[in-house]
Amino acid sequence: MTCKQILASVLMLLILPFSAARAQSILRDAETEAFLHEVSDPIFIAAGLNPKSVHLYLLHDNSINAFVTGGQNIFIHSGLILAANDVNEFLGVMAHETCHIACGHRVRTADAAGIAGTTSILSMVLGAAAILAGGADAGMGIMMAGQSMAQGQFLAYSRGQESEADLAGAKYLEKAHIPGEGMIAFFEKLRDQEILAQVRQDPYVRSHPLNRTRIMQLQEAVETSPYAGQAPDPVMNEKFNRLKAKLEGYLFEPRRTLRDYPLTDTSASGRYARVYAYHKALEWDAALKEADALIEMEPNNPYFYEIKGQILFENGHVDQSLPVFKKAVALAPKEPLISTALGQAMVSTEDDTLMAQAIPILEDATRQDRGNSFAWFNLAKAYAWVGREADASLATAERFYSAGAPMQAVMHAQRAMQAFDEGTPEWLRAQDILYVSEEAAEKMRKYQEKRRREQDRRRFEGAAFYGSPS
């Protein structure tokens, strides 16, 4: 199968029926993505993997689960992070899942799943529904399979594979100088669910069956580690607690967040949670007060400025948000999500000077993150504003391509090809998008037609049944 055929198949996953009750969305946040790799990369290295080749995706789903799909992709449910008591429990699961990649365990595909189709930058909010791309391929700068996911593509486990993943995970943790008790503690937490009816079990229990023998075997391996009994790394654990606080503040109702993180909690985690809770409750002044307190605690933390900038921007104070976003970008110049937030704010002013200044910022963001369709959207708007219509067409094609909308991608790729000279890099890029999107669009049309015929058939059969004489 060629690269283009693979990518066409990837796009096709976006339109297949969702087997679960609702679509899951991928949560994007610059700080979270940086932390997940910072804390997990030592485990990947211990397993002999290249950390840059392992793609991590955080899903908005309150159930406890993590799973591996084809290639080196690990999907993590937000519920798993919220359920872990400390960073070592989370890393125990990551070590287990890493073996499923490093050990070459078989992956099966069940029902494919479509994910939310709107990519949105999130700086203030942790989890706008988004499609997360893995990176460029074969110099074409096109997305990897992370842009789509199959909800049912879970590891086809066997008892042997699960046991191997336990023991290998313990070895990875030891090589990374991480105590393994966290893995045992988390598995013990889940083991009690095995007595529940399957509908009430978390997906991790169903796809990773636990038993006392496995846990006892794992305990023997963990106890021999020279790092047994050590407490979690305080720096990593603090970052993990902040991540949990941000997730709760974004995902849960403000009343619950403010109960779990009361005003008496003046830690960074407590203030983080309340920033999101107040923002969600439209209490702008309270949210800004907490953001300012965070900045006072850590004046060089780019994510605190990012939060404050987003609060100001979403509250209509765009001019005030600009210097705050610029400070965040200066502190974290290689975070494309933060750069996109600045670019969005500049574009929204519709000021000629700021619009021109936004272009190189958004161009850099899209170079670093090809699947950031929100950055492409704002870049296209800026191009059009300054009269670069051909570039606007290509950026719009990129936007729809990264969002898994092949029909719209075809239209704008054709416009770009007509606007650029044949053989130029821009023309060739538009051609790449056109080739892949045309195939995906045709598959989409065929699938939708098949679905319509099936629905018509069912309606006809239902009408015939209910209309027949008794």
SS3 state at 16: coil
**What pLDDT score was predicted for residue 302?**
97
* 123 assigned to some structural domain: no
**What pLDDT score was predicted for residue 108?**
38
CB 10 within 8 A of CB 145: yes
Measured between alpha carbons, how far is 39 from 41 in angstroms, rounded to an integer?
Answer: 6
- Give 284-335 pLDDT, tens digit per residue: 999 999 999 999 999 999 999 999 999 999 999 999 999 999 999 999 999 9
Determine the structural domain holding residue 215 and report its residue range. 3-114+149-223
> Among residues 223, 257, 281, which one ends one of the domains?
223
Rama region for 307: left / alpha / beta (φ>0; ψ in -120 to 50; rest): alpha
> Among residues 181, 204, 223, which one ends one of the domains?
223
Measured between alpha carbons, how far is 228 from 20 in angstroms, rounded to an integer?
Answer: 40
CA atoms within 13 A on the CB side of 182: 27
Instruction: Compute the 3-state secondary structure of the chain and give helix, strand, coil in percent, each to the nearest 5.
Output: 65, 5, 30
**465: buried, middle or exposed (CB in 10 Å: 19+, 13-18, 0-12)?**
exposed
C-alpha distances out from residue 217 to 141, 164, 169, 220, Å:
45, 11, 13, 5
**What pLDDT score was predicted for residue 236?**
97
By C-alpha distance, which of 140, 215, 134 is closest to 181? Answer: 215
* 422 assigned to some structural domain: yes
Torsion of CA 339, 345, 347, 349, to 10 degrees: -160
**What pLDDT score was predicted for residue 467?**
57
**What pLDDT score was predicted for residue 289?**
97
**200: buried, middle or exposed (CB in 10 Å: 19+, 13-18, 0-12)?**
exposed
For the chain, the domain total comes to: 2
Spans of the chain below 70 pLDDT: 1-24, 106-159, 192-211, 461-470
**What pLDDT score was predicted for residue 194?**
57
**What pLDDT score was predicted for residue 456?**
76
* 272 assigned to some structural domain: no
Residue 333 tokens read as 């110049």
Same-domain status, 217 and 340: no
Same-domain status, 155 and 8: yes
For position 210, which CATH number holds? Answer: 3.30.2010.10
* 124 assigned to some structural domain: no
Same-domain status, 186 and 41: yes
> Among residues 189, 223, 257, which one ends one of the domains?
223
For position 371, which CATH number holds? Answer: 1.25.40
CB 30 within 8 A of CB 338: yes
* 49 assigned to some structural domain: yes
**What pLDDT score was predicted for residue 24?**
56
